[in-house]
Amino acid sequence: METINPFTIIGLAAGTLTTIAFLPQVIKTWQSKSAKDISLGMFSIFCTGVFLWIIYGFSVGDLPVLLANIVTFILAFTILIFKFRYG
């Protein structure tokens, strides 16, 4: 059985923490049905950058980068959708 590189574990932990950081905002926006204080510009640029990280992670075969950014994109894009719906 192959040993996992310790840096992969660090990458997965970092990705997990930075990704779940968006969860409270998604929940709050969904519950309050208000996104007036969410910056459309910031989340548009952020989603674009995260999408590019997904392409990068896929192209270099970096699992932590790929997984973290796919989940981050889903959460951040959800906030962006809420901005259009409730903003």
The average confidence (pLDDT) of the chain is 91
Q: Tokens for 68?
A: 């973290």
Instruction: Determine the straight-line distance between the first and last CA of the chain, rounded to whole angstroms.
Output: 51
Fold of 35-87: Monooxygenase (1.20.1280)
Task: Kindly write down the DSSP assignment for every residue of 48-79, as one continuous string.
Answer: HHHHHHHHHHHHHT-HHHHHHHHHHHHHHHHH
From residue 13, alpha-carbon distances to 7, 17, 37 in Å are 10, 6, 29
Question: Does residue 41 have a pLDDT over 90?
Answer: yes
Question: Does residue 2 have a pLDDT over 90?
Answer: no
pLDDT of residue 55: 96
The confidence band for 5, taking pLDDT boundaries of 50, 70 and 90, is confident
Question: Is 19 within 8 Å of 50 (Cβ atoms)?
Answer: no
